[in-house]
Amino acid sequence: MNRLPSDAALDGYGLARVVVAVRVAVVVSIAVLVAVGPDWMSAHAAGTAAVLAAALLYAAVLMALPRYEVRRTRFAWLVSALDTAFTLALIGLTGGAASPVASVLALVVIASAARLPLRRCLLLSAMVGAGYLAVVLTVDSTHAALAPWVLGLWGALYVVFIAVMSGGLSRLLEREHQSRVRALVEAEAEHAAAEEERDLRARLLRSYEAQQEGLKVLLHEFRTPVASLDALTASDPASDDAAASQLVRRHSRHLADMLDALSDVNLSRRPAFSTGRVRRV
């Protein structure tokens, strides 16, 4: 006996295909019931065969395109309406009120509840109930009941179908919730990383600006006395202290060259991401 695939194997639309597989099994089970059931169930054999063939083709399309089975798509109403139409047609063709196909309506409502919002699901359920009532009232239902063993097997089979469909839809909703939570977490992480990057950039810029201001102050404090010394030594180079003055002048020039180099360092420490211009002091 084949086992259902594990959750790890049901990636992508695998879970949706499980739900579609239940739809295929329902169509096949109805065909078997019509074939082995009492004569009144096959009174409209041609119409029943046509509806079953159309339902099987519809299930095959959904098996190939399982995205139409998932929650909150623009095809949700169409899928639910087609499920309801096929089920009500088969109920009418296989005995009306006496038809065991009526149990399929429970699967239709369960699938619609997972596919549609609550209000739309309630509206669909009311429409399904009204449609079933119309079928029961218009189709002759004086047929004898099915044999107890047939009813028992049918009920047991549909308990399994309900369990498989409910479990598959539950896992689909859980996967959808996990995907939404994962997307929110990733978005928050990206936002936090961007905020941290902006904060680090601002702190680095403030640090560089503070360093530049310090270098500017240092340059100003050195340039003032050096300029004064240079002016004094240049005023009287032929005096008695000419040698000392020349020595002081050379040292002042040396200090001026050092300050120019320090100014170049100040300009070179301007960060690549800063804005505006840094002026030479």
In order along its 281 residues, the chain shows pLDDT tens digits of 444 444 443 445 666 777 788 888 889 989 988 888 788 888 888 999 999 999 999 988 888 887 777 666 778 888 889 999 999 999 888 888 788 888 888 888 888 877 777 788 888 888 888 888 888 888 876 666 666 666 667 667 766 767 776 666 667 667 776 777 788 888 888 888 888 888 888 888 888 887 777 777 777 767 766 666 666 666 555 555 666 667 667 767 777 777 777 777 666 655 554 444 444 44
Task: Please state, in angstroms and rounded to a whole number, the distance separating the CA atoms of residues 131 and 70.
Answer: 25
Task: Please state, in angstroms and rounded to a whole number, the distance separating the CA atoms of residues 19 and 23.
Answer: 7
Task: Please state, in angstroms and rounded to a whole number, the distance separating the CA atoms of residues 239 and 241.
Answer: 5
Task: Please state, in angstroms and rounded to a whole number, the distance separating the CA atoms of residues 133 and 88.
Answer: 10
Query: What pLDDT sits at residue 86?
Result: 93
Helices (H), 44-115: 45-64, 76-93, 104-115
Q: Return the CA Rg of the chain.
A: 43
Domain extent listing, the chain: 14-146
Using alpha carbons only, give the angle 223, 227, 233 rounded to the nearest 5 degrees: 145
Query: What pLDDT sits at residue 7?
Result: 42
100, burial (CB in 10 Å: exposed 0-12, middle 13-18, buried 19+): buried
Query: What pLDDT sits at residue 76?
Result: 82
Handedness of CA 12, 13, 18, 19 (dihedral sign): positive
Query: What pLDDT sits at residue 85?
Result: 92
Query: What pLDDT sits at residue 241?
Result: 61
Shortest CA distance to 90 belongs to which of 77, 78, 99?
Answer: 99
Task: Please state, in angstroms and rounded to a whole number, the distance separating the CA atoms of residues 182 and 166.
Answer: 24
Task: Please state, in angstroms and rounded to a whole number, the distance separating the CA atoms of residues 252 and 249.
Answer: 5
pTM: 0.56
Cα within 13 Å of Cα(170), Cβ side: 7
Cβ atoms 224, 202 nearer than 8 A: no
Query: What pLDDT sits at residue 245?
Result: 67
Task: Please state, in angstroms and rounded to a whole number, the distance separating the CA atoms of residues 113 and 109.
Answer: 6
Cβ atoms 24, 63 nearer than 8 A: yes
Angle between helices 104-115 and 76-93 (to 10 degrees): 170
Task: Please state, in angstroms and rounded to a whole number, the distance separating the CA atoms of residues 9 and 84.
Answer: 31
